[in-house]
Amino acid sequence: MESCVHIYCGDGKGKTTAAVGLAVRASGCGKKVLIARFLKTDHSGEVIALGALPGITVIPCEQSFGFFTNMTEEQKIAAGTYYSGLLDTTLKKAADESFDLLVLDEIMAVCNYGLVNEDQVLCFLTDRSEKLEVVLTGRNPSERLLLQADYVSEIKKIKHPYDRGINARRGIEY
C-alpha cells in the first residue's frame, strides 16, 4: 500500500482534532502511530487520551516559549534550537522504529517562523518509508509543502468564540 501525505491547514478550529482522529482510527486498526507536537505543551486533553491507546507514542513537548510574536530574540533562538532537536528526534524515531503514521502537529508554524528547517521536512517526506503515512498541521503551508501533499484539507473559520473574548476552554480547544 502506498502511503500519502496529509495537510490540515487553515485558520479554523479542528486541524489538530482531525489529526488526532486519524491517529485514533489508525490505532484502532492496529497501526503504530508517532505524534510530535510543536508550539504546544502536553497539557491538552488529547495527549492524556492518546497515551492510553495501544500503538500510539506521543513525543513529549517539554518546553514552552509562548507565542512567537511575544518572544525575545534570545527566546526565538532557544525555541529554534529546541524545536529543531524535537524534529530531529521525531524524524529519526519515525524512520528507525517502523511507524505506520506520523503526525507533525503545528509543523507549518515552526517552519514559517524559521524555527525548524523546512528543507529537512521536505527531504524526509521524499525519502520516507513507502508505508509511512504523514500528517502535517498548521496555518499557511508553503507551496513546496502543498506540492508534496496528497491530501490538503483547509479548515476555515466562519465564527469562533475567541472573537467575542472567550478564551480557550479545557476539553474543547485544548
Question: pLDDT-derived band of residue 171, with 50, 70 and 90 as boundaries?
Answer: confident
| Dihedral sign, Cα of residue 142, residue 96, residue 115, residue 173 | positive
Question: pLDDT-derived band of residue 1, with 50, 70 and 90 as boundaries?
Answer: low
User: Residue written as cell 506540492?
Assistant: 147
- CA–CA distance, 57 with 99 (Å, rounded to integer): 10
CATH value of 5-164 in 2.40.50.140, 3.50.50.60, 3.40.50.300, 2.40.50.100: 3.40.50.300
- CA–CA distance, 28 with 102 (Å, rounded to integer): 15
Task: State pLDDT tens for residues 80-130.
Answer: 999 999 999 999 999 999 999 999 999 999 999 999 999 999 999 999 999
Residues 142-154 have a mean pLDDT of 98
Task: Give every CB contact of residue 53 below 8 A, 6+ residues apart in sequence.
Answer: 24, 27
Tell me the domain boundaries of the chain. 5-164
Does residue 20 have a pLDDT over 80?
yes
C-alpha cell read off for 83 = 524545536
Cβ atoms of 160 and 42 within 8 Å: the answer is no
Backbone angle region of 46, left / alpha / beta, with phi > 0 → left and psi within -120 to 50 → alpha: alpha
Position 2 scores a pLDDT of 87
User: Residue written as cell 486519524?
Assistant: 22
